[in-house]
Amino acid sequence: MTIEHPFAKYLSILGQGRHGTRSLSREEAKSAMQMVLDEKVEDLQLGAFLTLLRVKEETSEELAGFLEALHDSLNLPSTLPVADLNWPTYAGKKRQLPWYLLAALLLAENGIKVFMHGAVGDDEGRIYAEQILRQIGIKRAANMEEAAKDLQSKNFAYLDLEAISPRLYELLKLRPVFGLRLPTHTLARLINPVNAPYSLQGIFHRGYQNLHQEAALMLGQPHLAVIKGEGGEAERIPNKPCLIDMVHEGKIVDEEWPELFKKMQPKQEALDISYLIRVWQGECEDHYGSYAVIGTIAIVLYLMGKVKDRKQAEEEAERLWRNRKVSSKGEAITR
Reduced 3-state DSSP string for 257-310: ECCCCCCCCCCCCCCCHHHHHHHHCCCCCCHHHHHHHHHHHHHHHHHCCCCCCH
Q: How far apart are CA 328 and CA 124, in angstroms?
A: 32
> Which pTM does this prediction carry?
0.93
Q: How far apart are CA 160 and CA 7, in angstroms?
A: 30
Per-residue pLDDT of the chain (335 residues; tens, 9 = 90+): 678 999 999 999 999 877 788 999 999 999 999 999 999 999 999 999 999 999 999 999 999 999 999 999 998 888 889 999 999 999 999 989 999 999 999 999 999 999 999 999 877 788 999 999 999 999 999 999 999 999 999 999 999 999 999 999 999 999 888 888 888 999 999 999 999 999 999 998 777 889 999 999 999 999 999 999 999 999 999 999 999 999 988 899 999 999 999 877 766 667 889 999 999 999 999 999 999 999 999 999 999 999 999 999 999 999 999 999 875 444 445 54
What sign has the CA pseudo-torsion 267, 269, 271, 277? negative
Sorted by where each starts, the structural domains of the chain and their CATH numbers stand as 8-73 (1.20.970.10), 85-334 (3.40.1030.10)
How far from 214 is each of 119, 208, 220, CA to CA, in Å?
25, 10, 10
| Secondary structure letter of residue 231 according to DSSP | G
Share of the chain above pLDDT 70, in %: 96
Crossing angle of the two packed helices 208-218 and 183-190, in degrees rounded to 10? 50
**In terms of Cα–Cα distance, which of 180, 184, 226, 175 is closest to 203?**
226
With vertex at residue 120, the alpha carbon angle to CA 45 and CA 240, rounded to the nearest 5 degrees, is: 105
The string of pLDDT tens digits covering residues 59-78 is 999 999 999 999 999 988 88
